[in-house]
Chain A
């Protein structure tokens, strides 16, 4: 009996190589960087979606997170800092049959690319946007970003950051995104399911992913390891939307919600554009 239970539990290891460009590994990310964990959740979600590699176009801007497309065997575009959304919009309009997935950092999407981000959400163009939110500009050496918590140290806020943060999910929802969710690299299995739902959604879907930059955010803020950061910000710093109503207020206060936060239907941009073309032709 014990043997059977063990056998039932047994799962074959997931074959990531099918989706990777294995010769590109090891990737450039530092030891303990959350971006690699997120990439694995994303690959498993794509596998579960049933989409073929050729049906996907992955687009990114610039940043450590934006290096992701270099490691995967899809149609990929590594573009300009903050401009991935404009490129992705072009790809989707030219080839609406593709599943467009945008990979961005908190700096890429919410600072330099903030304008492109909100207008993409407003149009409700069919694409999935992942925002890897590690509270800092990793690639350029740890400058503060729109998600750096107040009081936190960055190379450009040596005495503590005085700026209030953007809540990426609130921003996406207010701008018009029709699917908004949050996950973490610690809850990597939930994240896989959330990304799968985002991919299946028709319209602009945004997933903010809290992950960790041990090299800059961790070191500057005296967090000794990736593990400590995952425990503090991801495991203990978030609450699942499914549990939030059952918890006493003191267990929820100051924590970010995790899970699917907003899901509605609204006309999709490419389809509306198509209707316009058909109408004009008929005239």
Chain B
């Protein structure tokens, strides 16, 4: 029997609050995020461990993970 799939993370980005500082991208331990111009974007959702470090260190209330 196949392993049940892990529930993928919900990464919610508020583009109107993101100032594009890239702190979340640089400190993500599993390289989930990337800059897309001046806002952050998700590039590899499967790799997200929901550690919430991006959320904790975002100075702008612009990203949440659950």
Partner-B contacts on A (CB < 8 A): 2-3, 6-7, 9-14, 16, 20, 25-27, 29-37, 40, 185-186, 188-189, 214, 225-227, 230
B59 close to A11 (CB less than 8 A): no
Which residue of chain B is the closest to A188 with respect to CB atoms?
B56
| Known A6-B6, A36-B59: A226·B52 in contact at CB below 8 Å | no
The interface residues of chain A lying within 8 Å CB-to-CB of B4 are 3
Contact of A189 among B27, B50, B56, B59 (CB under 8 A): B56
Place the interface of chain B in its size category. Answer: 20 to 34
B contact patch SS: loop
Instruction: Tell me the chain B residues, 11-30 only, with Cβ under 8 Å from chain A.
Output: 12, 16-17, 19-23, 26-27
A227 close to B23 (CB less than 8 A): yes
B52 close to A26 (CB less than 8 A): no
A-B pairs under 8 A by CB, number: 80
Partner-A contacts on B (CB < 8 A): 3-4, 6-7, 12, 16-17, 19-23, 26-27, 49-50, 52, 55-61, 64-66
The interface residues of chain B lying within 8 Å CB-to-CB of A186 are 57
Among B16, B19, B20, residue most surrounded by chain A Cβ atoms (within 10 Å)? B19
B6 close to A26 (CB less than 8 A): no
Measured between alpha carbons, how far is A27 from B49 in the docked complex, in Å? 29
Contact of B17 among A25, A185, A227 (CB under 8 A): A25
Among A9, A20, A35, residue most surrounded by chain B Cβ atoms (within 10 Å)? A9
